[in-house]
Amino acid sequence: MNLVLFGPPGVGKGTQGERFSSENSINHLAMGDILRAAVRDATKAGQQARTYMDSGKLVPDGVVVSMIEDRIVKDNTTGFLLDGFPRNVAQAISLDDMLAHHHLTLDKVVFMDAPEEDLLERLSGRLICRACGFGFHRHYSPPREAGRCDRCDGELYQREDDREEVIANRLHVYRDQTEPLLAYYKGRPGFIRLDASGEMQAVYTALKEAVRD
């Protein structure tokens, strides 16, 4: 099974995408995580991406398209869930071209949405483990011990782009550049619109049911 999850920052793509991929034994290809790893490892792509990410802008298409193609080709034996790619219409066209080139297809495209006040609350309370990358939320999924990861005891931190002023810019970029993907994908077989405003388990149940239908 090959899927795309798209939607605004903080809607829960990472939370739901990771669980769905792990339970279905498919690869979770999260563009933001791939970019953050490149920044951490100071690769050439990471160096190019850093300033865009810190200010909440999209990294140039040329950088992200080749990074994701490498991962899709390398990891396509069991299927994949793309989280955070494509993020504009040009990237969606590149994705269609690369899938056709590698004789792959998309089975489902899931658009997740929630009211802006929920997005702001989710992003501003998010905590990430520095060691394993697992995500928590101060109120909705707090760690057992403050500041430490339940899974690996790593240190929890707030993402640089989860500061209030950067969140505002990410939401603006989303409305301007990513929302037009809705028109691109809406009429396709396998397109799903998912209300992601409920609590995590309810959203996950709805996602599983929608993908199964």
Q: How far apart are CA 148 and CA 75, in angstroms?
A: 31
| 64 lies in the site for ligand AP5, by CB under 6 A | yes
- The DSSP-derived string for 8-29 is STTSSHHHHHHHHHHHTT-EEE
| 35 lies in the site for ligand AP5, by CB under 6 A | yes
Question: Which residue from 2, 3, 4, 11 is in contact with ligand AP5, where contact means CB under 6 A?
Answer: 11
Question: Which residue from 122, 129, 143, 194 is in contact with ligand AP5, where contact means CB under 6 A?
Answer: 122
Question: Which residue from 2, 170, 194, 211 is in contact with ligand AP5, where contact means CB under 6 A?
Answer: 170
Question: Which residue from 93, 140, 157, 209 is in contact with ligand AP5, where contact means CB under 6 A?
Answer: 140
| 21 lies in the site for ligand AP5, by CB under 6 A | no
Query: Residues near 157 by Cβ (< 8 Å), separated by ≥ 6?
Result: 127, 128, 130
Rg (CA), the chain: 16
List 19, 71, 148, 159, catalytic entry: 159
Question: Which residue from 31, 72, 149, 207 is in contact with ligand AP5, where contact means CB under 6 A?
Answer: 31
Active site residue 87: yes
| 20 lies in the site for ligand AP5, by CB under 6 A | no
Active site residue 44: no
Angle made by CA atoms 156, 114, 58, in degrees to the nearest 5: 65
Q: Which is nearer to ligand AP5, 24 or 89 (CB)?
A: 89
CB atoms under 10 Å from CB of 11, counted, come to: 24
- Per CB under 6 A, residues contacting ligand AP5 are 9-15, 31-32, 35, 52-53, 56-59, 64, 84-85, 87, 91, 122-123, 125-126, 135, 137, 140-141, 161, 170, 199-200, 203
Would you name the residues annotated as active-site residues? Answer: 13, 87, 126, 159, 170
